[in-house]
Amino acid sequence: MAEAAATAARAEIETELRTAHESEPKHILDADGYIFAAPENLAAIAGIMKDFYDRCYYPVLGRIEGRPYAQMVCAGSDGENAARQTARIATGWRLKEVQSPLIVCTHAQTPEAILAEKTISETDLARCRELGAAMGAGLAMGVF
């Protein structure tokens, strides 16, 4: 999902794709906009994404207000709570939501399905590309 969005954004603007683990406050400060992508685990954002927010929240607080963001959630059931968590963090950073959360539901409900590698449908990947293209175009045109 993140790769599809980044590839589409890259057609419009310089784009970096980083994992939550490798992202640091300087990367947030250097960016003009953000697409946050996270899996849902136990009806919440994945722990690695929470770690990213924990490490980066205060070092950039008060320094990125008004920048645009969008988000994508890969969920097993509904993804709404994970999306709410990211939206609350973005609100604290005073970011500007430029698109409603894109939630892709895999319907993984058994232990085997939850633990299995997920395959995202072409339809959902197209939605991810549309989100990335819209973010890239908006930044390139100065709309955000």
Kindly list the distances between the CA atom of residue 116 and the CA atoms of 50, 65, 70, 76, in Å, as whole numbers in the listed order: 22, 38, 27, 11
**In percent, how much of the chain has pLDDT > 90?**
97
CATH class of the domain comprising 2-138 = alpha beta
Nearest of 85, 63, 67 to residue 75 by alpha carbon: 85
Q: What is the mean pLDDT of the chain?
A: 97
Q: What is the DSSP string of 70-138?
A: EEEEEESS--HHHHHHHHHHHHHHT-EE-S--EEEE----SHHHHHSPP---HHHHHHHHHHHHHHHHH
Q: What pLDDT shows up at residue 87?
A: 98
Question: 137: buried, middle or exposed (CB in 10 Å: 19+, 13-18, 0-12)?
Answer: middle
> Beta-carbon neighbour count of residue 62 at 10 Å?
8
Alpha-carbon Rg for the chain in angstroms:
15
- Average pLDDT, stretch 65-83? 96
> Is pTM beyond 0.75 here?
yes
| Structure confidence at residue 64 as a pLDDT band (50, 70, 90) | very high
CB 78 within 8 A of CB 107: no
pLDDT in tens, 78-134: 999 999 999 999 999 999 999 999 999 999 999 999 889 999 999 999 999 999 999
Where along the chain do its domains lie?
2-138
